[in-house]
Structures are given as C-alpha cells and as structure tokens.
Structure 1
C-alpha cells in the first residue's frame, strides 16, 4: 500500500500517515509540520485537478480506469483496491464537507456545503451525458453507535445485534478473514 508511485501522496507521506515512518530528533517537530503542510497543498491541488479531469480527460482514458459507464464496469469491480479507493475518496470528500451533520442532528439537514457538493456533483454528472437532474433527495437512517460501548458489551459477554456486529466488522480492528473462517466452520463443517 505504501510502496506505490507518487501521486497525491508520496511514498514517504503514505509511510508517515500509516505510522511506518516516524520523525524523531532535533528537527522532528519542523519535519512533521512540513509534511502536514505539503500533504494539505497536494490534496488541495489534486482536488482542483479533478475539474480538469472531469472536463478534459478523454473518454477512452476514463474507460481504461473505470470501464464503460452504464455497462459492465468489470475493471472497477475486478480491481478491489480501485473500488475501495473510489469509495473512500467519496467518503473523504463528503465527510470533510459536513455530510455527517445530516446524520447527527435533529434537524436532518446536511451542512450547506455538503448538500451543495453532493447535489451539484449529481447535476454535473448528469449533464455529461445530457441528463437533466431535476431534483436530488437523500434519505439517511443513521444511529449513533459509540464504538467503545460496543467493545465493552462484547468484552462483558453481552450479545450484540447484527447491526452492532457489522459496525465492529467494518472497523480496522477486526480481521475479517478470521471471522469468515469461523462462519465457514459453523455453516459447512459437520
């Protein structure tokens, strides 16, 4: 994961963000500051580049990345890393524009920036293929699940609901391969 070619993040950025690299010594504080600043600048500039990519990247080049829109997008579904990257890019953008305010507030309203970003993105995507998006409605059913209380319940031997188990499964703390092996044993072993 950290050894890919430089992109929005350099190899060193990836190593530092994932904890593989640490800055120690006399200049560590300045090095961390500089690394954070460089990452912010590259992320900002990369986001600006998406306007250029959206408008000017040739269709055949987009298809080489994602497959042909509206058909079997085999490239995207076969490349698990790319699919995960697309998912996390969208989550990163929505999260950082305030979309979770829609999930956490009693008003049920998204932050105006998040709402604008999502709505305008859907309008622009439709325009690309000559589709007029007249209205965008997003209905989210969300419940606050404090992870620490789930871990406490699990440790105490309390039974967790399937929803609660899913939340834990989606955390990076759980090795899903071990869980799958356990489920296989329960379902298929005599």
Structure 2
C-alpha cells in the first residue's frame, strides 16, 4: 500500500567563511523531523519521481516549501518488465525458474512467443504478477485468471499449440491479461 507522502521542507543557506554552502533541508517524515543529507534538488527529484510519476501539489514561499506528493502506480507491459529487471518487486526475481519451462522468468520474457500459447500466456502472466506485486489494483476477473494460470503453469510445459484445447484457454487468458497490463492504471 502506497501512503501519501507529506513533506515540509525548510531551506537554510549556510555561510561558512564567507562562502555560501549547500542548503540544508528539514522535512517531516510522518513522525519525526529529519535533516536531509542531500541537496534540495536531489531530494525533490527522489520524492517527485517515485514510480516514475507523482501527483504533486506544491506551495512555494521564500525559504519554506510544502510538498504533498502521492505516487501513482501504473501497470507495465511485458516489454517494460523485461528491460527493467532491476525494478521487479518482491517476491519476484528475474533469475528465478519459471515453473516447468526450465528457463528463468527473464529468459521467458525474452523468448519469442510466436506460435506457442505457453509463451504468449507466460509473457502476460509475468507482467500481471509484477504489476500486482508493485501495488497496482487487480480486477476480480484478472485475479481469477492469475490463480487459474498459476495452476496451469504447474502442469504445462512448452510448447503448447494455440489451436489445442489448452492453447485456446491460454490465449483467452493472455488476451485479458494483455488488456490489464496495457491499461496504465
């Protein structure tokens, strides 16, 4: 669960031996005042770029800033997750073995899915799992697909022909997960 971050930054110029040194910031972390051991610009960058975006309200008064920052969470596509493995949320790791495939999660994402329902579903399934673990809201029907697909992957190995009974089921699930992964919400 992402909490709203409320920061009150007091900026102080420190003059040492006649030279203006970096500004010092105090901020409220929700329970205590903290001295920021970083420049104001870097602090703002870290705060306002949480999860690539931030719904931000900011008031600027000389030497006093109030920032209310509420990070937004967006679903990501398989293409995003395969090129950003450093951003995978716990408990998922790119090097973990993906079910019975004999490949890691990351290898599965890089495996071309052409003509194989297993990989078509796996790409969307992995992205949906990572989106869910990142805190994205999951509709009930998507949650049900994730549960059923988890059981399916525990029994299936690639290749799976798209026109087979199991392949048709996998393609149907993949289509719904694709819609979810591309919503951006």
Q: Same fold (TM over 0.5)?
A: no
More strand by share: 2
Q: The TM-score by the shorter chain falls in which range?
A: under 0.3
Structure scoring higher RCO (CA < 8 A, sep ≥ 6) equals: 2
TM-score using structure 1 length: 0.21
TM-score using structure 2 length: 0.22
Larger Rg: 2
More helix by share: 1
